[in-house]
Amino acid sequence: MVFYQKNWEDTIARRKSQMEEVQDELIHRLTIGRSAAQKKFQVPRQNVPVINITYDSTPEEVKTWLQSKGFNPVTVNSLGVLNGAQLFSLNKDELRTVCPEGARVFSQITVQKAALEVGLSTRGGGSHIAESRDCRVKTLQTVVLSALAYVFFFQS
């Protein structure tokens, strides 16, 4: 009976030790996150104008957009003859068939379609980005608080 009780006490002591380690790690990570969030990170911006396309874009505008996205000349020449509506109508497999960068073109077209659905213009907009960021921050805060509650509940 004494042996069994001794093992049980050792198990409890190990669990408390592990929980303390988890708490220390969590506090450390939260502290690092806060200090990193307080630092101002600056991303150097190039003075390249943002070029967007719509369903009404001309072939010349589509070609300019493809070039601004850094697609190779084969892709630009293959797709630069299409207007916006024609380009938006192509699916991923069709784009892969027509040009070597088909998957990447499809990804960029998807971004353009999403921007049109949100109603972004070529100048301004972007409030949905802030809303999305705020939502992610709130979700992360909820997860962290839940983790802390869980850790403190099982410590007691």
Hey, what long-range contacts does 65-70 have (CB within 8 A, 24 or more apart)?
A: 66/105, 69/108
List, for residues 44-100, the tens digit of each pLDDT value: 666 667 889 999 999 999 999 999 999 999 999 999 999 999 999 999 999 999 888
**80 near 59, Cβ under 8 Å?**
yes
Task: Report the chain's C-alpha Rg in angstroms.
Answer: 27
Stated pTM of the model: 0.49
Distance between CA atoms of residues 107 and 96, nearest Å: 12
Asked if pLDDT for residue 43 goes beyond 60, the answer is yes
- Token pair, residue 97, equals 């068939």
List, for residues 11-41, the tens digit of each pLDDT value: 766 766 777 887 778 777 777 765 555 566 6
What's the Cα-to-Cα distance from 145 to each of 5, 19, 156, rounded to whole Å? 35, 16, 17
pLDDT at 155: 63
List, for residues 99-154, the tens digit of each pLDDT value: 889 999 999 999 999 888 877 544 444 555 666 677 777 777 777 777 766 666 66
